[in-house]
Structure formats: C-alpha cells, structure tokens
Structure 1
Amino acid sequence: MACASLEYRDVHEPRDTGAAKAGFLPDLQIARFVAAFIVMWGHLQHETKALGIATQGALIDFAPIYYPSGVDIFFVISGFIMYLLGRDRFGEPGFARTFLTRRLIRIVPLYWLFLFAMLGAITLFGGRMNNTNLDGAHIVSSFLFVPWPRIDGNVVPVLSSGWTLNYEMLFYAIFATGLLFSRRQGMTIVVGALIALFAIGQIVPESWFVLRFWGKSIILEFLLGMALAHFYLRGIRLPRWAAIALIAAGFAMLVVANDVQLVQRAGRFVGAGIAAAFIVAGFVLSARPSSGPVARGFVEAGDASYALYLSHPFTLNLLAIVWERLGIGSPALFFGSALLLCVLVSIAIYRLLERPVIAWLNARAGGRRSEAVKQF
C-alpha cells in the first residue's frame, strides 16, 4: 500500500522540486482516502451480507465498479511517491539504505500489530472466522511479506488484506536497488525488473507460486505512478476542470470495465490500473490544490488511510458483534454506522499510535524529527 504524505523535513525531502516547496500534496492524501474508502465499501457490503444483517438490497448489491480497484489506485500512488522522493537521490551514498529503512518503519509496525491481532482473533474467535487452519510456514511468510498459500490454496497472508503489502515491499526493494546507481541506470533496473517479473510470471508453472504471484500484471501499475511523477516534476499541471474530467473519466472506465468483467478477462493492469492512473493524475496534476475545511477533513482521513485499510475489518466485525447483541435490525443504520466508525477509528489509530511510533522509530534511526510528522 502506498503510505504517503509529501512532508519529510530530513534526507527524504526531494531537492529542487515543486514538491519540496509545497511541503505535501493535499490532493494526493485525498486520493489515498478515496482508494481506502472504495476497498472498505466493498468489504462492508460483503460483511453485511455474510453476517446476515442484510441479504439483499441496494446497500449490498450496488456495485458499479470492481471495489478492489481501490488497491490499484494505491499502487499508482505508491509509484508516484517513490519516484518523487528518489528522483534526485539516485546514486547518492547511503540514500538507498535510508530509503529502505524509512519504508520499513512506515509499513512494518502497524501491519505486524494487526497481524498479531488477527492471530489473536483466530485463537479466541475462530468460530466466527474463515480460514483458521494455519501452519508455521504461512505465519512466518506473512511476517516477512513473502507470498505463501493458505490451506485453501489462496496465496494471501494470515491477515488477508496484507497481500498488497507483499507487492509493495517487493517494489521498495527493487526501487532501493535502483537507487544505488545513477538515475538512468537505476531507472533501467527498476523498469526492467518489474517488466521481467511480469514476463516470468506468465510462463512459470503454477507450482512456482511466489513468481506467479509477483508476476501478475498489477505490479506494472507502479510504473504508471512513476510516469505520473515524471510529468509532475516536469511542471505539467491541468486546469481544475480538466483534472476533474480525468477523475470522472477514470471512474467511468472502472464502471465499463466492471460491466464487461475486464479485470477477469485481461488482468488488473488493463482492467483497473489504467483507470486508476487517470484518477490519480486528476488528483496530483491539478493546478489548484483543494483547500478549505472539507478538504482538510479529507486530507486527515487520507493521512489515516493505511490505518483504515488495515483496521476496518476488525472494526466491522467488532461492530457486528455489538450489533448482534443489541438486536438492532436496521441494515442501513449498521452500514452508515460502520462507515463512520471505521473512519473515526482509523484517525484515532493514526493520531495516537501510528504517527507517534513512526516519529519515535525515525528518531531512533537517526533521522531529524519534523514538527509535522507526515510520513510516506
């Protein structure tokens, strides 16, 4: 998952770029919230039906787009951010290590926390959960971000939403390797490695599940984000109406793709990645960033999007337990309450846990703590 906010007051701040002058991109944070919200909406529909709170109706049947496409938006954002951070740092001594350290600090603590929480939930509430048959290799691989099949054969970690992080961590490792070289050489390595992985993934046997997983077309979406960052750094900006039109076009593409089942027929890159790039382009290339109290609220929700992505399944299930005990019968009230509660819980996690932990770990790692600890 892309975990982003353009504000490093230390070695991760891009030099001589508009991003450095701007501090951070509010519309990028809004895009992150949109991505997480789309994923959460899809999961909420599934859980509302699975828990028997509602079995039919618009709340759970309305699906104009492929809701997992929120992940594709995240991957485009991730490619955008990594290139934005690293463009002027290729070949700089020590930066690749610093980059990878910051990525680990940004991703690992919160994910491991929820991974431990999932293991605890399986132990205590196994009767309410699916896929509770775990083995040691699956647990260890989940902590190490290595794709590994569950007992049912599905290649996802113990915390199933963590499958996206298996791609993210691989991308970070490839990008950090590229940072060891000059920009031209490094970019050749990064682009070549991602394309090679995709090509290899199409020809290896099914039993080579690690390469099959990493070789899916979704991995190419990081390249789309990097291309957008290139355009951004070249100063390309769009009038507000054009930016909105791009976002609308991206969502229209997702609607059409869902109608013809393009993801299932042509893979994630074609079925969702290109549309995701349109959406992200509309947010990041707008000449006039969003402002005002409503925008600030969405930016804060965007800051908490990683927490929202990881925490919302837990929030949904805990709310469902309370809902069941209270005997409340309104599906609409459950749905609305769940949406609001998931967002509020994620903001609380971000403020009280994620941000302080990142700041502390960054300080321990030798970085200079910023006054505003917004981290990628």
Structure 2
Amino acid sequence: MTAAGRRADGPAGTRGTGEEAGHIPALDGVRGLAILVVVCVHTGFGARPEGAAGLAVQRLFSAGWAGVDLFFVMSGMLITGILLDTRRSAGYFRSFYARRTLRIFPLYYLALLVMLVMLPASGLLGSASGSHEGGPWVWAYLLNVKVVLSPGREVVPFYIFPFWSLSVEEQFYLVWPLLVWLVPRRPLAWVAGGMIAAALLLRVALVAATGTSDAPYVLTVARMDALAVGALIAIALRGPGGLARWKRFAPAVLAGCTAAVLALMARAGSADNHTPEMQTAGYTLVALACGALLVMVLAAGPSHPLTRVFSRRELRYLGARSYGVYVWHVLTLFIILRLRVLPRLLGVEPTSPVHQALMACLVLAASLAVSEASWRLVEQPFLKLKRYVPRPEARGAEAIPAAGLPGGRDGGRPLVQPR
C-alpha cells in the first residue's frame, strides 16, 4: 500500500491524565474523540462494503482523518502554554526537551523495535514486515520527509506509516521553543498567524505545481497551520481577558468552518483528505474548526453540556491512552485482518455493512489492551524519571490569570500539559 493509500493517519502528541494544577479533565475527552475517529477511519482498510448501508458507514468513517488535525491543534495549544509559562525560568530548554523525551521516546522506540526489528526477524507477518528503505528515516523522526522523497513507494510497513505525524510534531518542536523564548507574547501571535497563512499558501502552490500528493499532507511546513492555531489559543489564554472575546465567536467559527468543509467534500465528491479541495483550504478550515471546539470546551462551565460530554469517564480514559492506541492500532488492525478474526468468529465478511463498525470496536479494544500494557510496563517507569527534571515554575505575567478560564477554574495557575 502506498502512502497515498493511507491518507488518514495522524498525530499522537498526546499525554496521560493527571489532576495537576490547571488540568481540565474535558481536554482528555477531546483527545478521546480524536483517537476514536482516527481508529474508525483506519478500519476501512480491507473493508469492501456492498449496499447503501455499508457504503454510508464507510463514507462517514472516511472523514475521521480530521482527528489528526484535532491532535495537532491540541498539541500546539498545550505545548505552547507550557513554553509561555516557563520561558523566563532557568532550565527552560533543558526541562522542556528532557520531559518531552521521557514522554515520547520510550513508546516510540519500543514500537519501532517491535515493528522494524522483532517482527521481521520472527517472520510472523511474512513479507508485510520485511525490510523497507524508510527504516533509518523513521528512527530519526524523518518519515514524513522520506515519504515525500519516495512518491508512490511503500517506504515502511503500512502499520508504521501513522508515525509521519509524530515526525511533524518533533520537527516543529525543535524550532518552536526557540521562537517562543525569543519573541514577546503579542508579536508571537502574529508569528503564529503568519504560519497559518504560509502553510495554506504553500499547499496551494504544491497542489498547483504537482497536483495532489503526499507532500501537502505530511510536510511539517505544510501542516504547521494546525499547530499554530493551537498556539494562538494558548497565547490568547494568557492575554488580557483570556478567552472572553474568543468564546463569543467560537460557535459561529465551528459551524461556518464545518459547513465550508462539507461543501468542499461535496464539491470533491469525497471525504478523502487528498483531494485538491482538502489539500488547499480544507486542512486550514478543519484546523480552525478544531480550534473553535477547543475554545468552546475551555470556556464551558462545569455544568455545560460540552463539559459533561467530554468529561465522561470512557472518553477521558481513551484520551489518557490515546498515544499508545495511536502507536499500536494499525498493527493491531493488520493482525486482526490477517487472522480473519471477524469472518471466523462472527461470520462477518469485509462486504458486510457492519464490518467496518465491528472492526473499529475490535481494533479499539485490542489496541487499548496493548496500550495499557505498554503504559504500565514502559511509559510509567520512564515518566517517574521526570522528578529529576521538574518543570520550572511559571514566572512573569504570562501564566493564565484566574479570569483566563470561566469561574477561575484554573485557580490562577498555568494550564499545563498533564504529566
């Protein structure tokens, strides 16, 4: 399967839960929604629905690639918030990169060890896990670059392809902390706005020059608009009045951008994310819609319906394990398809209208089991090492004031990335 055939993979710059200062539980629920729709879209691999019902499910699930953008926007908001709150503190760079390394690297490199070393050596998955030219690029967080340099070729086993989004985030955060450190808060908002415009213009130029391809989808400079939307939210949270003005317009922005995206999909005749419509204006519109949703969740009071929905235990748990689910779910899907679990156990063939929905449930359950194991055995032990590199105390006027969120929910403390 080529990269173009795997168009719904996405990021997982995610974190666990924790009742830390300023932590808003509903944000875990938003993460849960993001990983849920990503899993749903990927379960279309191998499905061949027949009939109107099956095709309707497939078309609905095919829009799940937007979960990628939701992850990007959340990551941009939460990481930028940490950087703004600590940039005047000693140990700013050391703390940020050390803590990020402890959170991201252990699971990432464990997964690569399993997928690129152990599985090929075992022969359990046959040729599907064989050698691929992109291996060294994945180890260096450069999979997205290799995909662009090798169009039409399968540079890694398809169950590793989702790691392109992790490459996007790590590349972005090599540069962004320095910009946050150098640029004052208000000019930084203009920088973020310029990044949104630049990403959009770059994608338009790429599509005009080469047609649709993987480049507008996977290159960091072409996808930084979603991260920058999140950064703008973090900057606004720390400004005078917090999100007071933004929350008034957020519902209209969400509705308008969603309507525009649906119109683009109708024009393209597909919800696929590799159409010219999506690769130009579509990605930015989706990012703005995701940003508006986050503003609404942040601005919602404890009794607001959004807060109640996204604070549900099930969604919060899914969000807390979303990084692990993201890393393991495509490999899990591949194994389930290879073993023909649904046809053998339930008699459900890929042509069945319920195949994709059942597959989504099965993959989600299996991925959660694997991610829970990797969380307890690998991630948690490394996270305990964070006590040796504590996050610097927020200094200056940029920590979120008590008025930054409704009802002073943050107690005047910075909104932090959990764990």
Q: Is TM more than 0.5 here?
A: yes
Q: What fraction of aligned residue pairs are identical, expressed as a percent?
A: 19
Residue of structure 2 in register with 1:366 after alignment:
389
The C-alpha deviation readout for 1:129-180, integer Å capped at 9, x for no partner, is: 38x4513xx2121011112138664597651000101110012111222244
Give 1:246 deviation, angstroms.
Answer: 6.5
Answer yes or no: is 1:173 the counterpart of 2:174: yes
Say yes or no: does 1:134 pair with 2:136. Answer: no
Distance 1:214 1:340, change over 3 A: closer
Residue 141 of structure 2 corresponds to which residue in structure 1?
A: 145
Give the Cα separation in 2 of the matches to 1:189 and 1:174.
16
Contact 2:109–2:139 (CA under 8 A) maintained in structure 1: yes
Counterpart in the other structure of 2:7: none
C-alpha distance in structure 2 between counterparts of 1:144 and 1:117, whole Å = 16
Distance verdict in 2 for CA 1:141–1:343, change over 3 Å = closer
Distance 1:143 1:271, change over 3 A: same
Counterpart residue number, 2:165? 164
Question: How far has the Cα of 1:323 moved from its partner?
Answer: 0.9
Question: Partner of 1:45: helix, strand, or coil?
Answer: coil
Q: Distance in 2 between matches of 1:292 and 1:42?
A: 22
Q: 1:257 aligns with which of 249, 255, 264?
A: 264
Q: Which residue of 2 aligns with 1:74?
A: 71
Contiguous gaps of at least 5 residues in structure 2: 1-11, 392-416
Displacement after TM superposition at 1:347 (Å) = 5.5
Alignment match, 2:328: 311
Q: Which residue number in structure 2 is paired with residue 276 of structure 1?
A: 290
State the distance in 1 between where 2:258 and 2:193 align: 30
Aligned counterpart in structure 2 of residue 326 of structure 1, from 332, 340, 344: 344
Length-normalised TM-score, structure 1: 0.75
Q: 1:228 to 1:142 in 2, by over 3 A?
A: same
In the TM superposition, what is the alpha-carbon distance from 1:283 to its structure 2 partner?
2.4
Q: Aligned residue for 2:369?
A: 345
- For residues 154 and 280 of structure 1, the distance between their equivalents in structure 2, rounded to whole angstroms, comes to 37
CA distance in 2, matches of 1:61, 1:180: 48
Describe the SS at the equivalent of 1:148.
helix
1:33–1:305 Cα contact (<8 Å) kept: yes
Identify the match of residue 94 of structure 1 among 91, 95, 118.
91
Equivalent-residue separation in structure 1 for 2:109 and 2:40 (angstroms): 24
User: Per the alignment, do residues 354 and 31 of structure 1 end up closer, same or farther by CA in structure 2, a change over 3 Å counting?
Assistant: farther
What is the aligned length? 350
Aligned partners of 1:254 and 1:272 also within 8 Å: yes
> Which residue of the partner structure matches residue 30 of structure 1?
29
Q: d(CA) in 1 for partners of 2:101 and 2:227?
A: 18
CA distance, structure 2, for counterparts of residue 29 and residue 294 of structure 1: 8
Secondary structure of 1:93's partner? coil
Q: Which amino acid aligns with 2:344?
A: L
Query: What is the Cα deviation at residue 115 of structure 1?
Result: 1.9
Distance in 1 separating the partners of 2:253 and 2:232? 16
* More deviation, 354-363/85-94: 354-363
| Secondary structure of 2:346's aligned partner | coil
Distance 1:258 1:201, change over 3 A: closer
Measure how far apart 1:220 and its partner are: 1.4
Q: Which residue matches 1:17?
A: none
**Structure 1 counterpart of 2:81, from 75, 81, 84:** 84
- How far has the Cα of 1:272 moved from its partner? 2.5
> Structure 1: which 5+ runs fail to align?
10-19, 369-373
Confirm whether residue 104 of structure 1 aligns to residue 101 of structure 2: yes
Indicate how the Cα distance of structure 1 residues 277 and 292 shifts in structure 2: closer, same or farther if over 3 A, else same: closer
Aligned residue type for 1:256: A
TM-score (norm 2): 0.68
Give the distance between the partners of 2:215 and 2:249, measured in 1 at CA: 41
Letter of the 2:175 counterpart: I
Q: 1:286 is matched by which residue type in structure 2? A: A
1:305 to partner: Cα distance: 1.0
What is the rounded CA distance, in whole Å, between the counterparts of 2:342 and 2:23 in structure 1?
43
- 1:281-303 alpha-carbon deviations (Å, 9 max, x no partner): 33233233625997122111111
What does residue range 58-73 of structure 1 map to in structure 2 within 5 Å? Answer: 58-59=53-54, 61-62=56-57, 63-64=59-60, 66-73=63-70
Letter matched to residue 36 of structure 2: F
Task: Please give the alpha-carbon distance, in whole angstroms, between the structure 1 residues aligned to 2:184 and 2:328.
Answer: 37
Hey, what does 1:226 align to over in structure 2? 231
Following the alignment from structure 1 to structure 2, what is the Cα–Cα distance between the partners of residues 193 and 102? Answer: 29
Q: Which moved more, 1:247-256 or 1:215-224?
A: 247-256
8 Å Cα contact 2:196-2:228 kept in structure 1: no
Distance 1:298 1:185 in 2: 35
Query: How far apart are 1:280 and its partner, in Å?
Result: 2.6
